[in-house]
Structure 1
Amino acid sequence: MMDRIYYYFIRIVAVALAIFFLIPVIWMLALSFTPEGQSVFANGFQLSFVNYQKVLSQAPIFGWMGNSLMVSVITTVLVLILSSMAAYAFSRIQFPGSKFMFLLFLSGLMIPAEATLIPLYLFMRDWGLLGTRTSLILPAVAGPMGIFILKQFFDGLPKDLEEAARIDGAGFFKVWYSIFLPLSRPALAALGIFSFIGAWNDYVWPLISISDKAYMTITLGLPMFQSSYVQQYALPMTANALAAVPVLIVFLIFQKQIIKGIAFTGGKEL
């Protein structure tokens, strides 16, 4: 009896929290379909696309989204490739100082991102990369979190598969590509979605490194657009609704993989 009460209690709390966190999103969508100056409930929830027409005609939303999408996709692909290769090396290849180097990578998690802005800016300036899309991609590729997550997953994979592949003559690269990557799809999906969202939502570093409007991402374009409508609510909300669509689509498609990836990679010892 108590187990059933606990079961329903947990689900009621979960539904209540879900509704609570969805209220701002629902309100944003409702405002985006309401003409400026009118109440959300004035027309009986009749949809109006006037705000979307105004936003698309007055701001290069799709251009900003295209830049963000390009940076996010390339960053995600590079993170998955490089992090999985490094994690495989730390997990399966024995070399001098491997444990020390892994701990050195993990120590990067303790460094605030704000502390790296000035050195990163000077580095990009000296190499002539400042103000380019490359300057937006490279800093996000070097995160230690992906290496940590994938190493934890690789450590739990059976060694028999790797040994069988080596008997057949497979090298390190073949084992990584043909065995470890297919078996680690849940962890790769989780890391991929986190990397994509992180690159999409990044604001501070693009604000510092990008000055050309042609390379502006959605996180830079939205504040500039909203500053022109400080006394209005509907148009900024409409722009935010458009900017949230790609992230919501990615999350809805890969939500099961995210949950599996967190379940597989969390709670394991180093």
Structure 2
Amino acid sequence: MNRSYYWLVLLLSIPAFVWLVPTIWMVSLSLQPNEVLARTTSTTAWGLIPIPFTLDNYAALFTFGQTPLWFLNSVIVSLGMTLGVLTVSTTAGYALARLEFPFKKVVVIVCLIGLMVPEQAVFIPLYTMFADFGWHNNYHALILPRMAVPVGVFLMMQFFKGIPKDIEEAARLDGVGWLRIFWYVMLPLARPAMMTLAILTFLYAWNDYLWPLVSAQQREFFTITLGLASIQSNFAQSEGLGRVMASGVIASLPVVILFLIFQRYVVQAMTAGGSKG
């Protein structure tokens, strides 16, 4: 049994390493001088060992160029979108799960329909609407369109439905209104689902490329993904392959760190029980 387990781990480690090779190669290239990379990108051991070693590419990122600004833009947009999605999804999910109001079923159906509509299908009306408001090249345009996420509302609605009604009824017997029940009773119970939604939203916002490409035409409002794409598309004007690879490493770090810290919640979100925390 133990021998079979070790063989299984070995077999799974091989494709895992192959999958990690591009990432390791990116890190290695970012740690090599640009003058070396101008001649070859495979100096030693398939280019996976950074020899000669240098940190100049990382130092240059925070000394010259707009990469720090793009990084800050991504942090602002990702955190703003995450807070907005949590606010809208928790309040709407609780209302749809626990409160009674006219046309409630219609609203639920509209939310379900929203799950079937590709986001690219609404780019033109969104672009036109924000152009009329004069909000392009602004944080408003990068955050607001993604705050009302149907999947987030559906996730929180299903979670609130799974909470026993006895808890809510006990609070009502004590004379507590629905707003205080939501804030002091339901939200603490919904922390696992909220954490799952927050992580997935942050990851999506950080890696988003299409909408920033449409809305942000000025370089000072580029997110890190859009900024790196602009560098790679104009590689002849970039400061070298090492600088480009260092930018990719810096852009990936927040996502990797977030996943390593909260991977338990991410795994829960990918399983059937994710909506139940």
Q: Same fold (TM over 0.5)?
A: yes
Secondary structure of 2:246's match?
Answer: helix
In 1, Cα distance between the equivalents of 2:242 and 2:258?
25
Structure 2 residue runs without a partner (length 5+): none
Deviations 1:191-239 (A, max 9, x none): 1111111111111211221123222211221122223435953322111
Shift of 1:68: 0.8
What's 1:237 paired with? 245
Shift of 1:131: 2.0
Aligned CA-pair RMSD: 2.5
Deviations 1:123-153 (A, max 9, x none): 1112222221101101110110101111121
In 1, Cα distance between the equivalents of 2:275 and 2:30?
41
Residue identity over aligned pairs, in percent, reads 39
State whether residues 187 and 260 of structure 1, in contact with CA within 8 Å, keep that contact through their aligned partners in structure 2. no
In 1, Cα distance between the equivalents of 2:12 and 2:185?
38
1:259 alignment partner, one of 250, 267, 276 = 267
Shift of 1:19: 2.7
Change in Cα spacing, 1:126 to 1:96, as seen in structure 2 (3 Å) is same
Q: Does 1:149 align with 2:147?
A: no
State whether residues 108 and 144 of structure 1, in contact with CA within 8 Å, keep that contact through their aligned partners in structure 2. yes
- The count of corresponding residues between Structure 1 and Structure 2 is 266
- TM-score w.r.t. length of structure 2: 0.86
Shift of 1:174: 1.3
> What is the letter of the counterpart of residue 25 of structure 2?
W
What's 2:96 paired with? 90
Change in Cα spacing, 1:76 to 1:160, as seen in structure 2 (3 Å) is same
What's 2:129 paired with? 123
> What is the letter of the counterpart of residue 248 of structure 2?
N
State whether residues 268 and 274 of structure 2, in contact with CA within 8 Å, keep that contact through their aligned partners in structure 1. no
Change in Cα spacing, 1:17 to 1:158, as seen in structure 2 (3 Å) is farther
State whether residues 30 and 40 of structure 1, in contact with CA within 8 Å, keep that contact through their aligned partners in structure 2. no
In 2, Cα distance between the equivalents of 1:86 and 1:142?
10
Q: Does 1:170 align with 2:168?
A: no
Secondary structure of 2:62's match?
Answer: helix
Secondary structure of 2:134's match?
Answer: coil
Shift of 1:97: 2.5
State whether residues 29 and 237 of structure 1, in contact with CA within 8 Å, keep that contact through their aligned partners in structure 2. yes
State whether residues 79 and 141 of structure 1, in contact with CA within 8 Å, keep that contact through their aligned partners in structure 2. yes
